[in-house]
Chain A
Amino acid sequence: GENVEQHPSTLSVQEGDSAVIKCTYSDSASNYFPWYKQELGKRPQLIIDIRSNVGEKKDQRIAVTLNKTAKHFSLHITETQPEDSAVYFCAASMAGYSTLTFGKGTMLLVSP
């Protein structure tokens, strides 16, 4: 089955800095890669996603890149703000299935 590795497990940055979280996946059949943000005590919420026919996608301060050959995908957050502090999960899914295989999560702490 699919296996998703996520690094780092914790990330501390100063407000205004950039943050990068990296994930690798094992199954070349995976073609959908969402990123979820989970604040303390709340449900995971989708912040951005990318499909295998695209190499990069941006949404304001957030961007995701995908390297299908290397089976890597990354989340980039620029100009971080304290409200970006949360746990971020990457995930992978195969065509036709709603099953998400998640990485173990990255706790991002943005200090003012």
Chain B
Amino acid sequence: KAGVTQTPRYLIKTRGQQVTLSCSPISGHRSVSWYQQTPGQGLQFLFEYFSETQRNKGNFPGRFSGRQFSNSRSEMNVSTLELGDSALYLCASSLGGTAEAFFGQGTRLTVV
């Protein structure tokens, strides 16, 4: 079966702009979580969604937001981009709870 798909793979944006990233989970998975990966901070949790409801949120500013649709696809949005938002953004899907999480290839965001 198809794995977790993230689009786009690469993005270059200018400070102050906003960006939307997309994640399509494995078919049948209703849970999607988002993580930011940087060399200095490692993998940091952003959001967790299950059946269109945000179940948990990490310690990120309000410029970071997300949502999940009825088909379990999820998007995250970052507004007023800052240089420090440059990172690899990974999403992971699972059946829910502590079931195995499968990661997408990530979206590499560069803010210039």
Contacts and interface: CB of A to CB of B under 8 A. Distances in A.
B45 A99 contact: yes
Q: Is the interface of B mostly helix, strand, loop or mixed?
A: strand
Interface stretch (B14-22, B79-87, B96-104): B96-104
A44 B100 CA distance: 12
B75 interface: no
Contacts of B92: 98, 100
B90 A98 contact: no
Given A31-B98, A34-B101, A100 B33 contact: yes
Contacts of B96: 98
Contacts of B55: 97-99
Contacts of B72: none
A51 interface: yes
Given A43-B103, A44-B90, A95 B43 contact: no
B97 A95 contact: yes
Given A46-B102, A97-B55, 12 more contacts: A36-B103, A93-B98, A96-B98, A97-B48, A98-B31, A98-B33, A98-B50, A98-B92, A98-B98, A99-B55, A100-B101, A102-B43
Interface of A: 1, 31-32, 34, 36, 42-46, 49, 51, 89, 91, 93-105
Task: Give the 6 A-B residue pairs with the shortest CB-CB distance, closest first.
Answer: A32-B98, A102-B43, A43-B103, A104-B42, A98-B31, A99-B56
